[in-house]
Structure 1
Amino acid sequence: MTDKKRNAPARPKSRRSSGVTHVNEPHHDNFTVVGNHLAQHPELSLVAIGLALHIQSLPEGTPIGIKTLAAKFPEGEIRIAAALRELEQHGYLARPRERLQSGQVTTRTISFNKPKLAVAPAAPVPEPEPSPRPKAPAAGRSATELLAGLRAHDSRLILTERDVHRLAPAVTEWLERGVPPTAVVRTLTSGLPQDPIKHPAALLSHRLSARLPPHLPTPPASVTPSRPDPLQTCDGCDRAFRAPRPGRCRDCRPASVAA
């Protein structure tokens, strides 16, 4: 009686994952080491992560101003400025201001491959006092940068570029009325509702309109004090006295009249 051969159980077919498949090759030159704390940061935007990677790959001393980066990449100055502020907030970038021996104030950029605390400037630089009537181009640029940076204070205040340019004139009106930018940001970000903000642009538009402060009062015209009469030498007693023209002093004047 022959034994019947049992069929071996078929091996389950391997299923290819729908996620990413890595094909890694070693780099021996021209590469930059980046930590996963940056590449997988849960709070940084993709623009900020990419900008940090680009900055860390640059040689020492390469200029990385906003206009320089905007000329190199398709993102505009508003998005690049907001990304730089994100990196500063999370400790990947510091931009302390220093005063040179010539008296000129310059900004020094420091990049960290691991997040650090903010670096204090080497030399204290006093903040310039806000101008009560800033020029229109400068005020417009400050307004757009202020609006784009609101999400650094509250991630629910993310605005589109269209919303930023639409709300910029209202912020400019605040700045032209002598309100410092820090006070405008505080007005727009403090006391926000705890619930999700579905329409951040509408909320900000309402605050900018409802809380607009009045114009600064016009300072009173300064009264120029009248200058005293010049000193004269009395023709009678050679004593000095004040008078609009040469002559005799008060004591000698009656005697001359009587004579």
Structure 2
Amino acid sequence: MDTSQNTALLRALTELPGPLPARGVIHIAIRHTDRFTVVGNDLAQHPGLSTTAVGFAVRIQSLPQGTKVGIKALAARFPEGEKLIAAALRELEAHGYLQRARTRLPNGRIVTRTVFCNQPTALLRPRAAAAPPQLPPVARPITTPAPAPEPTVKPEASPEPDPQPEPQSQPTPDPVATPDPPAPRAAPPQAAAPPQDRAPAAPPFVRLVPPPTAPKPPRPPLPRPRELTPELERVSTALLSDLRHHAPQFTLSEEHVRELIPGVAAWLERDAHPDTIRHTLTTNAPEPVNYPYQFIKHRLTVLLPPPLPGAHDLTPPPARRNPVTPFQTCDGCERAFRAPAPGHCRDCRNEVAYTQAAA
């Protein structure tokens, strides 16, 4: 089988026209007549997609409409595992080739709808570029009537060949009749005007596909102490190395211990007890812990306690005293009332105002 296949390839090479390249790939392109899928170079040579993602994009593109393309469905159809398929689908989703959205059906059931686009960049272009193809049909009817007047002039010249002087007078109207057709050529500006008017009147461009998934924000760095003293480094090293005695799944390598020392030192600098740090790092851990270094780094960063307040921070602020309005004795009825200055009370002021208004 191998020999016959190589012979067929060599025979096909001899039939290729033109000189063949001295090195590199040589393409033998046989035209497909059935069961083929068109794949663009923007996908096949995409610089940001892995070969696995491009392969699954071609496979999804070749499937018929309505075929399930979930992770489990693709894993049952192809030999790749679910993790590799999930990573490839995430790449395609990040670059806009794939979109997965949860949709509620009329019967109330929620399903996941997958949309695949073979050229997502084309959907982001403005739709006003589709107007120019209307120009060719406008120019065609204008060119067709131009030759029409020529056959109308020729039959007039044919019935009158008897008098010889008349054919000599007719050649002069022929050049005059030929420039007459430019009159209808003035119509193209009028016919070309509507496309120019339609272009601004086109509706604004609406994005059909949401932009690619935004990149995740960077993870916060591992906390560090203000000063990594030898004592803090010694206690941090001992605490991290001793974690495997309390939880075997937290067995760290020597390199990981050195990288996590600043995080533990930051906790110790904030007066956190070693038993408290050990309990925080090992309690309620998932089973199993596949990446203990990443897990401990995450907890040291996210659960970092605030520094203890100082003595002056715990002192309550002085109570704010509002000024007290003193008591005054009314000059009219000698009733006590609060006012900043001596005078009349409210009743006496109202009575005086009523008396003045009645007078």
Q: Give the TM-score normalised by the residue count of structure 1.
A: 0.43
Say which structure is richer in helix.
2
Which structure: larger Rg? 2
